[in-house]
Amino acid sequence: MSLPTPEAHLSAVLETVERRSQAEPEFQQAVREVLETLEPVLEEHPEYIEGGILERLVEPERQILFRVPWVDDSGKVQVNRGYRVQFNSALGPFKGGLRFHPSVNLSVVKFLGFEQIFKNALTSQRIGGGKGGSDFNPAGKSDAEVMRFCQAFMSELVHYIGEHTDVPAGDIGVGSREIGYLFGQYRRMTNRYEAGVLTGKGKGWGGAEVRTEATGYGAVFFAEEMLQRVGESVAGRRAAISGSGNVAIYAIEKVQQLGGRAVTASDSGGYIVDEGGIDVELLKQIKEVERGRISEYADRKPGSHFVANGSVWDVRAEIAIPCATQNELGADGARSLLKNGVRAVTEGANMPTTPEAVELFQEAGVLFAPGKAANAGGVATSALEMSQNAARSRWDFDKSENRLHEIMRDVHDMTFAASERYGKPGDYVLGANSAGFVTVAQAMLEQGII
Ligand SMILES: NC(=O)c1ccc[n+]([C@@H]2O[C@H](COP(=O)([O-])OP(=O)(O)OC[C@H]3O[C@@H](n4cnc5c(N)ncnc54)[C@H](O)[C@@H]3O)[C@@H](O)[C@H]2O)c1
């Protein structure tokens, strides 16, 4: 049997994905972005073509769609749709967050699940890739409504997860409050205290230190590694950060701890600029405690201001860290950042930079870290939470943060080494895709056609 060339093989796989997933633009975008970089890997490994690795990798092992009926505070029955896409378990149990946001659909969940496979491989933590969520919008809901929704969601999800099967965590709209309600319902329904079934738990009942901080801290550690490789550092640099949720808050905190100055934060209503550096405690109070709007920051902090229309990427910064959502940094934002002298872009969010913007950064020689590598600190710390649950042990903050730092250094080095090996040193997109892919492909090959 003669094998197709890598180029022909990649186009054929992409064609199949486009045909089968016509209504899934985000998923197609994520697959295209990976496949476009894999030709040199397949040149070196024809056995991956022969083993049908890519055809299998782009098809989730299992996709679960379910009804989530619940009753709101006025007594009205509400129905949302629940999703769990179990994408690939060659390296370990499916692992990936749950997103509760009105924009959630199968395309979004599949793109996130697909990216998660490679990200999880880069952490070297032996976890597979998956993702889930619902089009439920927690914004403006009472605590009791969020609890009833989470209980209804888990009443179905319970059939498909477990510490050795599939281990969900948080994502947009799912933080420690939601994980608490989800875990409570899992425990009630199974009559088991299976701590390792969910990560991001409360610290008093199985949660790990630094899990809350991990994604944002990790993204900044990655930026520091990239900058240090070229003799620079975060210290003394201005950073523009989008979002004001879990990832953004702790990215801002770590930038300041490393001696940089984070000057922006945003939400769906607009953004704030604080030239003196964001006051992280005030930001946490507004967003984590009061669940308020970012505009309130400007009301309370003299010297800062709120911008309702416009883009956070118009603010001058040497480091940009998009931490909100997919495709939030497009060509216009990239041009504006480039004009203002950006040196490094690190994705805290998943796929926040459009393909056009990535190209502009790479052409301009800006250091660009894709989310698969740069935001892997969250899931890596989730895996540490699973190990601590299994061992019934608990690490302190310093040990956990040091371990996160080491992991991010390894992810950086592995990614950079792969970019060198496949001919484009410093192309972290190529590096992350190829290093993650080879790890998963090898495991799939050795485990046979399943
Ligand atoms: N939480 C994690 O550990 C983790 C890990 C890896 C990647 N991520 C990614 O990081 C990103 C943020 O996740 P998070 O956990 O911080 O969620 P979050 O719910 O805590 O915060 C999301 C933030 O993004 C903003 N946002 C969302 N949609 C927006 C929109 N359409 N326009 C403008 N702003 C918008 C929200 O206002 C909020 O500030 C997501 O892409 C997520 O997939 C999260």
> Which ligand 1 atom is the nearest neighbour of the CA of 119?
6
Which residue among 110, 131, 201, 372 is the active-site one? 131
Span 333-346, pLDDT tens digits: 999 999 999 999 99
**Measured between alpha carbons, how far is residue 249 from residues 173, 213, 427 in Å?**
14, 8, 27
Q: What average pLDDT score do residues 425-441 get?
A: 98
Fold of 213-364: Rossmann fold (3.40.50)
pLDDT attached to residue 328: 98
Q: What average pLDDT score do residues 386-392 get?
A: 96
Q: Outline which parts of the chain fall under CATH 3.40.50.10860.
A: 62-193
pLDDT attached to residue 196: 97
Helices marked H in 60-201: 106-122, 143-157, 176-190
138 lines ligand 1 (CB under 6 A): no
Place 181 in a pLDDT band, splitting at 50, 70 and 90.
very high
DSSP string, 182-227: HHHHHHHHH----GGGSSS--GGGTPPTTHHHHHHHHHHHHHHHHH
Q: What is the separation, in whole angstroms, between the first and last Cα of the chain?
A: 21
- Whole-number Å distance, alpha carbon 194 to ligand 1 midpoint, is 27
**Measured between alpha carbons, how far is residue 404 from residues 29, 149, 378, 393 in Å?**
29, 33, 9, 17
- CA–CA distance, 421 with 39 (Å, rounded to integer): 13
Give the helix/strand (H/E) hosting 84.
strand 77-88
Place 226 in a pLDDT band, splitting at 50, 70 and 90.
very high
Nearest CA to ligand 1 atom 12: 324
Share of the chain above pLDDT 70, in %: 100
pLDDT attached to residue 1: 72
Q: Catalytic residue at 131?
A: yes
Q: Does the pLDDT of residue 75 top 90, yes or no?
A: yes
pLDDT attached to residue 327: 98
For 2, other C-beta atoms within 10 Å of its C-beta total: 3
pLDDT attached to residue 376: 98
Mean pLDDT across the chain = 98
Q: Does the pLDDT of residue 305 top 80, yes or no?
A: yes
Place 231 in a pLDDT band, splitting at 50, 70 and 90.
very high
Q: What average pLDDT score do residues 48-69 get?
A: 98
Q: Does the pLDDT of residue 255 top 90, yes or no?
A: yes
Span 122-141, pLDDT tens digits: 999 999 999 999 999 999 99
Place 45 in a pLDDT band, splitting at 50, 70 and 90.
very high
Q: Name, in order, each residue with C-beta under 8 angstroms of 433's C-beta and a sequence gap of 6 or more.
A: 33, 34, 37, 38, 118, 370, 372
- Whole-number Å distance, alpha carbon 243 to ligand 1 midpoint, is 6
pLDDT attached to residue 123: 98
Sign of the C-alpha dihedral computed for residues 160, 165, 167 and 173 taken in this order:
negative
Q: What average pLDDT score do residues 19-34 get?
A: 98
Q: Outline which parts of the chain fall under CATH 3.40.50.720.
A: 213-364
Nearest CA to ligand 1 atom 10: 349
Nearest CA to ligand 1 atom 11: 349
CB 146 within 8 A of CB 184: no
- Whole-number Å distance, alpha carbon 326 to ligand 1 midpoint, is 9
Nearest CA to ligand 1 atom 37: 267
120 lines ligand 1 (CB under 6 A): no
Which CATH architecture best describes the domain 62-193? 3-Layer(aba) Sandwich (3.40)
Q: At 168, give phi and psi (nearest 5°).
A: -70, 165
- CA–CA distance, 4 with 272 (Å, rounded to integer): 53
